[in-house]
Structure 1
Amino acid sequence: MRQTDIAIIGGGLAGSTAAAMLGRAGIAAVLIEPHDSHPPELRCEKISGGQQLDRLRKTGLAEAALRISVHDAQIWIARFGRLIDIRPSQQYGFMYDALVNAIRTEIPAAVEHIRAKATAVVTSDDRQIVTLSNGEQVSARLVVLAHGPSVALYQALGIERRVIGACHSISVGFDIAPVGRAAFAFPSLTYFSERTALRTAYLTLFPVAHGMRANLFVYREMDDPWLRQMRREPAAALDACLPQLRAMIGDYAISGDIRIRPVDLYVSSGHRQAGMVLVGDAFASPCPGSGTGTDKVFTDVTQLCNVHIPRWLATPAMDAAKIVEFYDDPVKQECDAWAEAKAFTLRAVTLDNSLFWRAQRWARFLGRLGQGMVRRTRETMNPSAALRIRTRSS
């Protein structure tokens, strides 16, 4: 039986980041993940500047992540077929599998990658036993569950997922290119919904290594005919949910795989147990449209690996009294509450036609319009600064 301090189950963004951070800290760990290379998957495809970038930097892995990303430098903001602002941007675009695989290259050799699936976990106050699909077993002081979709494993452990938003949103990812010209006029674009009946939050276009990437966020049922149209005639489906888009950005073509990902919002229960801890999607799902998924992953993993695991390993046992310290961590709790609130706010501001939410939509539109006017006035007064921004974006 293999012996280690930490057994990480799942090699997505959360698991790979944890493995890299623990390995760099000299903590004995193994990564249990069947794939050598993470397969293509529609999850986060860009990191924004400010708070999100700061959270990435706290992992110590920002250099590896940004190395495979494309910085757009400038973003256009539009609504109702109208450009309302052009502002500096710190967005970095990438494909999710490229990001995860870049993080995996930072995992030290001392962290063994076991290419198998975890089929069972037996926990206790002392050591945990993980049984693998290849028949092997791993004994660890702590198990980190970082494999979001593995429902059966969690149910066997008595962990349940309470759905708080069934089919809360649907994300659509695809490649897009201009027709009849070499490039779009903008480095990146965020285009907000034109009216609530279209059930569309927004479209974001941003550069990645192979071209321009599109992420579209809608609120529809899985049997909606629009989804079938999106798979078969994606350009027509995009025209249908954002009718004024083509007139603003020019003719376009959609290519490559159309990836559609419905999301149920859920939170875990029964997880405050000895010997194991849940991070990222394993603990609670984010809404991709709210852009908080990487915030939750980086916050969970940073607090766990930098704060709690070193303290837990310094004393014997791994009882529930230790584990709850992570779930009660005020930094984690603040991030979780913020992400959940943002998910429901985005849905309401997109769909709700009550007086309050109509006012919220107009306040956001007028606020962005006002910011754009102020920015253009400043650029008129300081043209050299505006030229530097345009030069960087080109």
Structure 2
Amino acid sequence: MRYTDIAIIGGGLAGSTAAAMLGRAGIPTVLIDPHDVYPFDFRVEKLGGGVQIARFARTGLAEVVLPGATHARENWIARFGRLLDRAPVDQYGIMYDELVNAIRAEIASPAEFICGKVTNVAISAERQQVTLGGGETISARLVVLANGLNVSLRRMIGIEREITSPCHSISLGFDLVPVGRPAFPFPALTYFSERPSDRVPYLTLFPVGERRMRANLFVYRQADDPWLREMRVNPVRTLDAALPRLSRITGEFAVAGDIKVRPADLSVSTNYRRPGIVLVGDAFSVTCPVTGTGTDKVFTDVAQLCNVHIPAWLASEGMGEDKIAAYYDDPVKTACDAWSMAKAFDFRRVSMDTGLYWRAQRGARFLSWLGRGALRRLGGRRRRTTIQGALPQTP
């Protein structure tokens, strides 16, 4: 039997980040995942926004991971075929598997990685026992469950998953390439829906690598909607029909490679207050990818758990339910969870609801983007005029 302080089950973004953080803190940790190298998975493909990057920074890993991503400093915002703003951003494009593997590369002793599949978990108020498929057993003071949507281990110890909004949204990922020119005119682009009936909140385009423009399209449809098949078979025509004035901004384009489709159910775990085990990331609750807050939840869960709670728990004997409750009741975590879930429903309503209030909200957003863009252009012209006026005049 192998002994450790922390056993983490699941080596995706949440589990790998936790293992790297705990190793840096000098806490003996074992990360267990079936994949020695994390494979392609259509999930997070960019990190952006000051708040999200700040949350990533709290893990201590941003400074070593982000230099390997593609940095975009400006994002064009458009709707109705009209450029509204060229907003400054701090956005990083990176494929999910590359992000996870970059974080895994930071796992160092006393943390270690085991390639294997967990077949059984037994928990108690003292030590936990994790059994692998090959028969090896790991004894840990705490189990961190970070295995995403996999429910089998949770059910083994009485934790269930409640779906609160089935197929709340669907994400599509593909590469967009310009036709007849070497590059698109924008560094990154967010193009918002033109009509609620199209059930498309927005399309986001962002660079990954030197020559690749990645597209993430979000829709509110059912998983068996024929529209999805049309998108796979005739992506350009289907995209033109859904966003008919998009090409005024992008110019003529083509779709390269496969189109990845990922439906998302909103869900929360139930009966999770158990001794000896905590749930992080999607293992605890799943929010909507449209809002881009899933990564915020992961970084918040892991940062609070590894920076605040685990060091305090290990300072005394036992791992009872009273200790574990401090993590689930953490005000930083609960605020992030509530914000993320509320945003999931609000974004859907503002994208599709035809009621007077939500129509007004869409109009207000459009005017807000238009106003900010106009002020930014005016400020730019004033700065250029000031600079030109300060230059010495030639006779």
Residues 142-157 of structure 1: pairs in structure 2 closer than 5 A: 142-157=142-157
**2:354 alignment counterpart:** 353
**1:273 alignment counterpart:** 274
The 8 Å contact of residues 143 and 276 in structure 2, kept in 1 or not, is answered as yes
Distance, in Å, in 1 between the alignment partners of 2:301 and 2:328 is 9
Residues 317-328 of structure 1: pairs in structure 2 closer than 5 A: 317-328=318-329
Task: Render the CA deviation track for 1:124-173: whole Å, top value 9, x for unaligned.
Answer: 00000111111111110000000112111111111111111100000000
- Following TM superposition, by how much is the alpha carbon of 1:240 offset from its aligned partner in structure 2, in angstroms? 2.1
**1:132 alignment counterpart:** 132
**2:286 alignment counterpart:** 285
Distance, in Å, in 2 between the alignment partners of 1:224 and 1:18 is 38
Stretch deviating more after TM superposition (238-247 or 33-42): 238-247
**1:60 alignment counterpart:** 60
Distance, in Å, in 2 between the alignment partners of 1:110 and 1:122 is 23
The 8 Å contact of residues 93 and 207 in structure 1, kept in 2 or not, is answered as yes
Distance, in Å, in 1 between the alignment partners of 2:242 and 2:27 is 50
Change in Cα spacing, 1:310 to 1:186, as seen in structure 2 (3 Å) is same
Distance, in Å, in 2 between the alignment partners of 1:16 and 1:326 is 19
Helix, strand or coil at the partner of 1:230:
helix
**1:162 alignment counterpart:** 162
Helix, strand or coil at the partner of 1:5:
strand
Distance, in Å, in 2 between the alignment partners of 1:229 and 1:2 is 52
Task: Render the CA deviation track for 1:65-108: whole Å, top value 9, x for unaligned.
Answer: 21221111111000111111112111111111000000000000
**1:256 alignment counterpart:** 257
**2:118 alignment counterpart:** 118
Matched, 1:4 2:4: yes
Distance, in Å, in 2 between the alignment partners of 1:244 and 1:31 is 48
Corresponding letter in the other structure for 1:155: R
Residues 337-348 of structure 1: pairs in structure 2 closer than 5 A: 337-348=338-349
Helix, strand or coil at the partner of 2:286:
coil
- Following TM superposition, by how much is the alpha carbon of 1:42 offset from its aligned partner in structure 2, in angstroms? 1.0
**1:42 alignment counterpart:** 42
Matched, 1:199 2:206: no
Distance, in Å, in 1 between the alignment partners of 2:336 and 2:20 is 22
Distance, in Å, in 1 between the alignment partners of 2:186 and 2:386 is 18
Corresponding letter in the other structure for 1:327: Y
- Following TM superposition, by how much is the alpha carbon of 1:385 offset from its aligned partner in structure 2, in angstroms? 10
Helix, strand or coil at the partner of 2:126:
coil
- Following TM superposition, by how much is the alpha carbon of 1:12 offset from its aligned partner in structure 2, in angstroms? 0.3
Residues 177-256 of structure 1: pairs in structure 2 closer than 5 A: 177-209=177-209, 211-256=212-257
Change in Cα spacing, 1:114 to 1:385, as seen in structure 2 (3 Å) is farther
- Following TM superposition, by how much is the alpha carbon of 1:257 offset from its aligned partner in structure 2, in angstroms? 2.1
Give TM-score, length-normalised by structure 1. 0.96
Helix, strand or coil at the partner of 1:277:
strand
The 8 Å contact of residues 26 and 109 in structure 2, kept in 1 or not, is answered as no
Helix, strand or coil at the partner of 2:267:
strand
The 8 Å contact of residues 379 and 386 in structure 1, kept in 2 or not, is answered as no
Corresponding letter in the other structure for 1:25: A
- Following TM superposition, by how much is the alpha carbon of 1:383 offset from its aligned partner in structure 2, in angstroms? 2.5
Query: How high is the sequence identity, in percent, across the aligned residues?
Result: 60
Gap regions ≥5 residues in structure 2: 389-395
- Following TM superposition, by how much is the alpha carbon of 1:386 offset from its aligned partner in structure 2, in angstroms? 11
Helix, strand or coil at the partner of 1:91:
strand
Distance, in Å, in 2 between the alignment partners of 1:377 and 1:323 is 53
Distance, in Å, in 1 between the alignment partners of 2:282 and 2:385 is 45
**1:33 alignment counterpart:** 33
Change in Cα spacing, 1:165 to 1:384, as seen in structure 2 (3 Å) is farther
**2:310 alignment counterpart:** 309
Corresponding letter in the other structure for 1:270: N
- Following TM superposition, by how much is the alpha carbon of 1:110 offset from its aligned partner in structure 2, in angstroms? 2.9
Helix, strand or coil at the partner of 2:27:
coil
The 8 Å contact of residues 93 and 208 in structure 2, kept in 1 or not, is answered as yes
Helix, strand or coil at the partner of 1:90:
strand
Corresponding letter in the other structure for 1:351: M
Quick check: which has more Rg, 1 or 2? 2
Equivalent residues, number:
387
Task: Render the CA deviation track for 1:195-243: whole Å, top value 9, x for unaligned.
Answer: 0000001000000015110000000011111101122222222112111
Distance, in Å, in 2 between the alignment partners of 1:350 and 1:383 is 38
The 8 Å contact of residues 379 and 385 in structure 1, kept in 2 or not, is answered as no
Give TM-score, length-normalised by structure 2. 0.96
